[in-house]
Amino acid sequence: MRRNFVSFFVFLGVALLTVFGYQLWQTQQLNTTYADVIELSQSSTIQVLEAPSGTRLVPQGVLMTTGDVTELTYTYLIRYEESDQFDVSVADVIFTKNNINYFDEDGMLQFDLSIDQLNSTSSRVTVRISLNMPETEDQYQLLSNSTASFRLQVDRV
């Protein structure tokens, strides 16, 4: 009797873990947006899989409020021909404040790129962005109430 009782609770635990795991996976799948497909050539495309919204990037170590994050993550899907090789980099990092564009000459934004090859014709590129603490008053004024943009550059090798 005791053995059946223990087996029942083990089965129930495994079933609940499976249900919650599936719900988590399904939630992550529903949050993925498939938009902004850009054609690189006749045989290659890049597609935005995930982009943050409703958050504000702040430097690490500052007092955070609702919606503040210290790192943003963008995910892209690149499809190409089997023989293609490519290199990914970040270009044209711009801060916009009061409708005026300022290039990030001081390297205020830090980019961490990782490429995961999914199969012979597609790769997932993850771009993690963090913000350095401003060292001067000018840098602080530039970052205060500004928006940042960048261009993901994909070059054939």
Mean pLDDT per block of 10 residues along the chain (157 residues) reads: 77 75 55 51 62 80 85 86 80 89 90 90 89 90 87 81
59, 131 contact by CB (below 8 A): yes
Q: In angstroms, rounded to a whole number, what is the distance separating the alpha carbons of residues 50 and 74?
A: 6
- The count of structural domains within the chain is 2
Query: Could you list the residue range(s) of the whole structural domain that residue 13 is in?
Result: 1-31
**Are residue 111 and residue 66 in the same domain, yes or no?**
yes
**Are residue 142 and residue 111 in the same domain, yes or no?**
yes
DSSP 115: E
The predicted-structure confidence for 38-58, as pLDDT tens digits, reads as follows 665 555 666 676 667 778 888
**Are residue 26 and residue 41 in the same domain, yes or no?**
no
